[in-house]
Structure 1
Amino acid sequence: MLATYIENCLAKASIWALANLGKYAIIATNTYLIKKIGSTLSVKYNYSAIQVAVVGCGNWGKNLIRVYHELGALHAVCDASPQKMAQFEESLRIRACSFDELLNSAIDAIVIATPSVTHFELARKALLAKKHVYIEKPITHHPEQILQLQELAAEHNLRLMVGHLLQYHPAFLKLKALNAEGVLGQLQSIHATRLNFGKFPTEQNVLWDYAPHDISMVLGLMQELPTKVFASKENPLSHTTADTTTIHLHFADNKKARVISSWVHPFKEQKLIVTGSKAIVMLDDTQPWEHKLTLLNYPCAWNDGLPQPFQVEKNPIPLLPAEPLKNECEHFLQAILTQSEPLTGAAEALNVTTVLAAAIQSIASEQIITLKEKQQRTAIPEGIYA
């Protein structure tokens, strides 16, 4: 079965799918396949052929600057603070300039890591200037703005991508592969928690700051939009509209998901628990690589119509460690070089934002929001990660 899976991956040139196999690819007994895996994974892209500029040199922007510099694609930085720009200009020997200067330069792609309220206008101007665009999450707070950006990108044959980072995490990629292979059986429920205590942004609430990652993963697994959304909030700090949110998602065939986000939690927790009819898989991103992804025995035994208590056995799933941000940045550059649609492109971003906007509406009205039929779009486009 493993050899057949590898052959299918090779036939589709599915580099990421092969990478998800981790150690299992290494232990394949067919020498020919092992050689083919090596040649496939060794495909090289000339990232230096793409000139990238990062707009926003703050907490997350500096990580994007580091990775694009390591990939040989970084050519310029831009920030409202001259001091921040000067720091990178000197240390990395790259150009520091204004946003207008970027628009009129030979830069190929603009990476936007500014406050979310600025995303739409910056992205719109970049696309009009015929630049490929990567935008940190959330892409914008309004689905109709995403449609405008999507139309501009299509009109000029440009790549538009949003930074839903965990779609490029080796553990989540492996989880998706297990689900696609039927290891979990029929999906039944997903429980996601992203909890912490520390940074408290003032430009957006915790729903827009934390929840996009988990909504993106939920839709990536469900492969559809929910039919109903209900959300609630807590606001102990009273500095934004919400410091803790809980989002309940109802899907077809009685599938459900719950996403809990908080930045006033006493300890850090980043878990995704996926329950199927055959197994449960838990992704715990606070754990070391050897324990990030575990398979749990399930379902329990039944006796006289009642479930029986049993000892949970956690079976670690081997992974090949890799930096998700580097995977994400490489994917953006590869999409430009191959003129292909990114995994987290406008279509995926639109679905995530549609769910988040429904959650905001539910919080405001304290009502269940039913998504209209016209909003039921395909969650994830066909592609290398499918």
Structure 2
Amino acid sequence: MVRVGVLGVGSMGQNHARIYGRLRTQCDFIGLYDPDFERASSLASMYNTKAYSNMDELIDQVDAVSIAVPTKLHYEIAKKVLNYKKHTLIEKPITTEIDDAVFINNLAKENNLVLQVGHIERFNPAVQELKKIIDSEDVLAIDFKRLSPYDPRTKDTDVVQDLMIHDLDIVKFLFPNLVFHQIQAVGQSPITKNTADYAQVLMHEPNLMISLTASRITEEKIRTISVHTRHAFISADLIERKIIVSRRTSVSFENERNSSYRQESIIERVYVPNYEPLQVQLESFLDCVSKGGKPLVTGEDGLYALSMVENIRQKIYL
């Protein structure tokens, strides 16, 4: 049984608490901490755990923590937790600065600790199934769209760090050994004026093109991945968790009356399991802590995603 705690009970931290409260066979949910002790106490009573007014006291009592505090606090709190020699799951992005992310990774390695970053889309069943499909395909191009209405809570960051970072991590998951040297990026700031609210990125190598669009000025929430391969077109909806594969074919059929017809394409509707990605993410984290395994999303993966974000930002804000 892994003794676990949650640091920060905003919208994401509340979900971590909900899941840990459910995983009683895998963990002992020791408690949670938030500067708003009243809010922490209310949540603790819901999940039969304890609210702590002192962060250090909670960290001292556990084997592992989820860090779900505001991004600007990720570095200092992760450093504290790792110096206590506790396993850590930190929400995305890993930190705000690349140097801080490097330090956090090194600290986890020095202390032989699990460091997992909360890029939850890797645990989306549609993404998992999509990878299985394209691993056997000759992929030519992929188009990512991650569009949302404006949320005032994200005003302090741009759409690349807030939204596009998810798809940058999915690219890493789908093509773990690919390094893009050619990247073009543009952005617009119609709402916040000084940070990009809409961004488009094109990454290309000789045999593969990847386009990414992220928006927080779109009224409809859209999360799609379109894959063009040499012999098929694959469409994945990450919200509906549906995948459709359209394959080119040219097959003729004749019946007993000597009439015939030609089938020029085949449509496959892929079965996608129905489960909550966050629960699978936390189950995976607890499993790594108890068995000493490697997380699906490592600290290095978090550093890669942050580095890609900074590369794209530099091109947008030139």
TM-score norm. by structure 1 comes to 0.74
User: 2:187 aligns to what?
Assistant: 233
User: 2:256 aligns to what?
Assistant: none
Q: Kindly indicate whether the alpha-carbon contact (under 8 Å) linking 2:249 and 2:264 is maintained by their aligned counterparts in 1.
A: no
In the alignment, structure 1 residue 99 sits paired with structure 2 residue 55: yes
| 1:1-386 correspondence to structure 2 within 5 Å | 49-72=1-24, 73=27, 74-97=29-52, 98-103=54-59, 105-180=60-135, 182=136, 184=137, 186-200=138-152, 201-223=154-176, 224-238=178-192, 241-251=195-205, 253-287=206-240, 289=241, 292-298=242-248, 314-365=267-318
Displacement of 1:231: 1.5
Displacement of 1:175: 1.1
Q: Post-superposition, which runs of at least 4 consecutive aligned residues in structure 1 deviate over 3 A?
A: 310-314
Distance 1:54 1:277, change over 3 A: same
- For 1:176 and 1:202, locate their aligned partners in 2 and report how far apart those are by CA, in whole Å: 33
Letter paired with 2:58: L
Question: What do residues 97-119 of structure 1 show as CA deviations (whole Å, max 9, x unaligned)?
Answer: 1222223x221111111111111
Question: What do residues 51-90 of structure 1 show as CA deviations (whole Å, max 9, x unaligned)?
Answer: 1111111111111111111112322111121221011122
Distance 1:170 1:99, change over 3 A: same
- For 2:200 and 2:164, locate their aligned partners in 1 and report how far apart those are by CA, in whole Å: 9
Q: Kindly indicate whether the alpha-carbon contact (under 8 Å) linking 2:123 and 2:280 is maintained by their aligned counterparts in 1.
A: yes
Q: Percent identity?
A: 26
- For 2:264 and 2:97, locate their aligned partners in 1 and report how far apart those are by CA, in whole Å: 46
Displacement of 1:299: 8.5
- For 1:265 and 1:68, locate their aligned partners in 2 and report how far apart those are by CA, in whole Å: 33
User: 2:258 aligns to what?
Assistant: none
Unaligned runs of 5+ in 2: 251-262
Partner SS, residue 112 of structure 2: coil
Letter paired with 1:246: Q
Partner SS, residue 190 of structure 2: coil
- For 2:184 and 2:96, locate their aligned partners in 1 and report how far apart those are by CA, in whole Å: 18
- For 2:218 and 2:125, locate their aligned partners in 1 and report how far apart those are by CA, in whole Å: 26
CA RMSD of aligned residues (A): 1.9
Partner SS, residue 197 of structure 1: coil
Q: Kindly indicate whether the alpha-carbon contact (under 8 Å) linking 1:190 and 1:218 is maintained by their aligned counterparts in 2.
A: no
Displacement of 1:130: 0.4
- For 1:69 and 1:168, locate their aligned partners in 2 and report how far apart those are by CA, in whole Å: 20
Displacement of 1:132: 0.6
User: 2:254 aligns to what?
Assistant: none
- For 1:311 and 1:363, locate their aligned partners in 2 and report how far apart those are by CA, in whole Å: 43
Q: Kindly indicate whether the alpha-carbon contact (under 8 Å) linking 1:246 and 1:261 is maintained by their aligned counterparts in 2.
A: yes
- For 1:170 and 1:160, locate their aligned partners in 2 and report how far apart those are by CA, in whole Å: 22
Unaligned runs of 5+ in 1: 1-48, 301-309, 366-386
- For 2:63 and 2:317, locate their aligned partners in 1 and report how far apart those are by CA, in whole Å: 41
Q: After alignment, is 192-201 or 235-244 more displaced?
A: 235-244
Letter paired with 1:294: I
Displacement of 1:187: 1.7
Partner SS, residue 148 of structure 2: strand
- For 2:133 and 2:211, locate their aligned partners in 1 and report how far apart those are by CA, in whole Å: 21
- For 1:274 and 1:245, locate their aligned partners in 2 and report how far apart those are by CA, in whole Å: 20
Distance 1:240 1:66, change over 3 A: farther
TM-score norm. by structure 2 comes to 0.89
Q: Kindly indicate whether the alpha-carbon contact (under 8 Å) linking 1:189 and 1:255 is maintained by their aligned counterparts in 2.
A: yes
Count of residue correspondences: 300
Question: What do residues 142-173 of structure 1 show as CA deviations (whole Å, max 9, x unaligned)?
Answer: 22222211111111110001011111111111
- For 1:89 and 1:343, locate their aligned partners in 2 and report how far apart those are by CA, in whole Å: 29
Distance 1:247 1:91, change over 3 A: same
